[in-house]
């Protein structure tokens, strides 16, 4: 049993060495047609590293020939399937520029955007790739407005925009938790202006009541009344827009204090 395994291992090593030797000889040789056919075969077998090496050494020779278009597109595809998405995107875009009339141009332009969609990070991280994906997808729609891909792309753009919205919301929430009252108020107001239909509106109104109240409590007397009034205004908006909100009873104690403060101002007139 051990001898059989040993001999099998030796045979396997010899086959690998022979294969590597043939590949190196092909790579260094001058038979471009053989290289081209081998590269296609490696690509079909999903051996993308070897396919890429061969495509790379053939690009100059085939640049003005029909095979050059195939090499350019499959180079991008190799990087895509290797999950080197940033590099793949750049090769797809290069293909679109070089072969604008190719039957693969639409696919390449779509995939150049899809690469950034795939690497778009969680909402807790920087969203540069998310913004790039939106821009790239929008460019595709501008170029191919009647493409059957448009509904799918619009859905992807919605997902990406939701991520940007969540990123902004998380920043607002962080200011609130850190009790950075002025920053929280400014960021919440801006957020609601930019995202009037946000799913976080109810919670934000609750947070703003608390924030304005605490902000007033920590303000100089000249600014307190205005900030108590703004806190009450946000509470009234919450009650009007979300009359069944679970936050309304939770705010009762705070709103009672706000009203008592405002009554004192009326009494002191």
Same domain assignment for residues 128 and 113: no
On whether both 42 and 55 belong to a single domain, the answer is yes
pLDDT at 60: 83
**Whether 97 and 145 share a structural domain:** no
Angle between helical axes of 105-119 and 150-177 (0-180°, round to 10): 20
Tokens standing for 60?
């100059």
Residue 12 lies in a domain: no
Q: Do 74 and 101 fall into the same domain?
A: yes
Q: Does residue 126 lie within any of the structural domains? A: yes
Specify the pLDDT at position 17.
43
- Tell me the pLDDT of the chain (269 aa) as tens digits: 545 554 455 444 434 444 456 777 777 766 778 889 999 999 999 999 999 999 999 888 888 898 999 999 999 999 999 999 999 999 999 999 999 999 999 999 999 999 999 999 999 999 999 999 999 999 999 999 999 999 999 999 999 999 999 999 999 999 999 999 999 999 999 999 999 999 999 999 999 999 999 999 999 988 999 999 999 999 999 999 999 999 999 999 999 999 999 988 877 65
Tell whether 8 is covered by a domain. no
- 163 with 99, same domain? no
CATH number of the CATH domain containing 78: 1.25.40.10
> Given this model, what pLDDT does residue 110 score?
98
Domain boundary among 109, 142, 167: 167
pLDDT of residue 15: 44
Q: Do residues 37 and 110 both lie within one domain?
A: yes
Q: Residue 186 falls within a domain, yes or no?
A: yes
CB burial of 217-235 (b: ≥16 within 10 Å; e: otherwise) equals eebeeeebbebbbbbbebb
Query: How many whole angstroms separate alpha carbon 252 and alpha carbon 150?
Result: 48
Q: Is residue 182 part of a domain?
A: yes
Residues 183 and 266 occupy one common structural domain: yes
138 and 125, same structural domain? yes
- Statement to judge: residues 254 and 187 lie in one domain: yes
For 177-202, what is each residue's pLDDT tens digit?
999 999 999 999 999 999 999 999 99
- Domain endpoint, select from 132, 167, 202: 167
Please tell me whether residues 198 and 157 are part of one structural domain: no
The DSSP call for residue 65 is S
How many structural domains comprise the chain? 3
What residue numbers bound the domain in which 227 lies?
178-269
| Residue 15 forms part of a structural domain | no
Question: For residue 28, what pLDDT is reported?
Answer: 72
pLDDT digits (tens, 9 = 90+) for 195-249: 999 999 999 999 999 999 999 999 998 899 999 999 999 999 999 999 999 999 9
CB 149 within 8 A of CB 140: yes
Neighbour count for residue 61 (Cβ, 10 Å): 15
* Whole-number pLDDT of residue 268: 67
Domain edge (last residue) among 94, 119, 144: 119
183 plus 138 within the same structural domain: no
Q: Are residues 183 and 269 in the same domain?
A: yes
Q: Among all chains, which residue has been given the structure tokens 């195939």?
A: 70
């Amino acid at each position: 049993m051990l001898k059989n395994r040993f001999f099998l291992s030796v045979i396997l090593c010899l086959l690998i060495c022979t294969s590597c030797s043939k590949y190196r000889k092909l790579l260094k040789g001058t038979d471009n047609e053989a290289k081209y056919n081998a590269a296609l075969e490696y690509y079909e077998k999903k051996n993308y590293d070897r396919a890429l090496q061969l495509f790379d050494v053939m690009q100059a020779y085939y640049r003005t020939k029909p095979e050059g278009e195939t090499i350019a597109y499959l180079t991008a595809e190799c990087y895509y399937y290797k999950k080197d998405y940033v590099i793949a995107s750049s090769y797809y875009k290069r293909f679109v520029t070089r072969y604008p009339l190719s039957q693969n141009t639409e696919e390449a332009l779509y995939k150049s955007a899809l690469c950034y969609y795939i690497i778009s990070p969680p909402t807790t991280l920087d969203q540069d790739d998310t913004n790039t994906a939106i821009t790239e997808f929008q460019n595709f729609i501008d170029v191919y407005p009647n493409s059957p891909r448009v509904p799918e792309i619009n859905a992807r753009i919605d997902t990406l925009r939701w991520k940007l919205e969540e990123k902004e919301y998380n920043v607002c929430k962080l200011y609130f938790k850190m009790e950075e009252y002025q920053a929280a108020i400014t960021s919440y107001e801006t957020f609601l202006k930019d995202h009037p239909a946000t799913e976080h509106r109810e919670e934000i109104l609750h947070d703003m009541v608390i924030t304005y109240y605490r902000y007033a409590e920590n303000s100089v007397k000249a600014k307190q009344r205005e900030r108590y009034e703004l806190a009450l205004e946000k509470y009234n908006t919450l009650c009007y827009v979300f009359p069944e909100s679970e936050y309304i009873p939770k705010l009762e104690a705070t709103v009672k204090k706000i009203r008592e403060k405002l009554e004192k101002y009326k009494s002191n007139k």
